[in-house]
Structures are given as structure tokens and as C-alpha cells.
Chain A
Amino acid sequence: AQSVAQPEDQVNVAEGNPLTVKCTYSVSGNPYLFWYVQYPNRGLQFLLKYITGDNLVKGSYGFEAEFNKSQTSFHLKKPSALVSDSALYFCAVRDRNNNDMRFGAGTRLTVKP
């Protein structure tokens, strides 16, 4: 079965600095990969996904993620962090042969002014 690991519970960055939220996955075949963000007392919101093709995926709010097959990673990045980016970020993977989505444990991003 597929699985996702987000090795960092917490990431702290200063406003204006680049940010990276890490994600690694395990799946038997080729994956579909997703990033979601959760603001306090809200449901998860879709940010971006990788299906196939270009390894660099661009998404909402200036976020992007790089798919690296050899390292089985799908790290989320943003060149310049905003205080409003502070939230809980979830990586998710779906095996192309399977129907359920597996989410990582989440990484809490705090951007300080």
C-alpha cells in the first residue's frame, strides 16, 4: 500500500525567505501526488498536483513542487514566504492502481515577520 512521510512536524521561516516543506512517498507503481493546505478551523484546500510530465509543478498562491522519482520525493517550495502562508500542509499520494488517498501527518509552517 502507498504511504507518505513528512519528516518535519514544524518548519519556521522568516517572511521573504524561501520555504521548503518536505515529502517522500512510497508506492508500488507510478504515483499521483498532491499538496493541500489547511488553515485553522477550515477544511483542506488543494494547492497542486503531479500527474505526469514536467517534474516542476506550479500551483496556487505561488507554490510549486518538484517531483523527483529517484529520491521518491515531492517537496513543496515557495521563493518568498508570506506571513499568511502560515498553516498546516499535507502531502498526499495515490497509487494509479488504487483508489484511496494516503495523507502525510502534516507539517506546520510558521512564517515570522
Chain B
Amino acid sequence: DSGVTQTPKHLITATGQRVTLRCSPRSGDLSVYWYQQSLDQGLQFLIQYYNGEERAKGNILERFSAQQFPDLHSELNLSSLELGDSALYFCASSGRDPFSEQYFGPGTRLTVT
């Protein structure tokens, strides 16, 4: 158990809809990262937050947004969903140092029908 929790585990929704994925980092970790894993794209870095502030941005679509709250949990919002958004979404957390390893949650499997 990595100490990172994600909810829900599975999500099935229709095209055009909006969903919110939730992540709670390990106790003490200030950094939260979001990744998308799909069969054809591999593991894609989406965005990082550090102590409530956006720190780095990767291949995140404009339809997607995220935030980190004062209690350090984070939410990833996906809107106007398309079939191609079906994927595993992982959250990870790490300590403050750039050489700290990341600890991954179990993921949320999103299926868009």
C-alpha cells in the first residue's frame, strides 16, 4: 500500500459528460501529480501541484483541469468527455525534493461510452 488513495476505482460515463477524480496524497507529501495511462499513449504526465500551487504542466488538454486544496487532496476534472479519454488515471505524491520518488495510487479506470 503506497499511502496514496484515489476515488472512485471505476467510472463509466457517456460522451460529453463531466467527471471528477479525487486523490489524497501520502501523509506529509506536498506534491501531487496526475498521469493518464492508455494503451496507445503510454504513461502521460498531466500536471503537478505543490502545496496548493500549480508547479508543472504536461500534456493536459484544455478540457481537463485540476486543483489542490488546503488539506492537500487534489481533484482532476475532466469535461466534454470523448471516447479517447477512456484510460487509467493515476495520482502520485512525493516529498519536496526534486529527487524524491513518487508514490502512486491504485488509479481510477475511466470508461467513456
Contact with A105, one of B42, B45, B48 (Cβ below 8 angstroms): B42
Q: Which residues of A contact B107 (CB under 8 A)?
A: 42-43
Interface size on A, residues (CB 8 A): 22
Tell whether B14 is near chain A: CB-to-CB under 8 Å: no
B6's nearest neighbour on chain A, judged by CB, is: A43
Query: Is the pair B99, A94 in contact by a Cβ cutoff of 8 Å?
Result: yes
B90 and A46 contacting across the interface, CB-CB below 8 Å: no
Which residues does chain B contribute within 8 Å of A42, judged by CB atoms?
Answer: 106-107
Asked whether, in the complex, the Cβ of B106 is within 8 Å of the Cβ of A43, the reply is: yes
Contact A43 B104 (CB under 8 A): yes
Q: Is the CB of A102 within 8 A of B90?
A: no
User: Which residues on A sit within 8 Å (CB–CB) of B92?
Assistant: 43-44
Within the complex, the shortest CB–CB distance from B31 to chain A, in Å, comes to 9
Q: Enumerate chain B interface residues (CB-CB to A < 8 A).
A: 2, 4, 33, 35, 42-43, 45, 48, 55-58, 90, 92, 98-99, 101-107
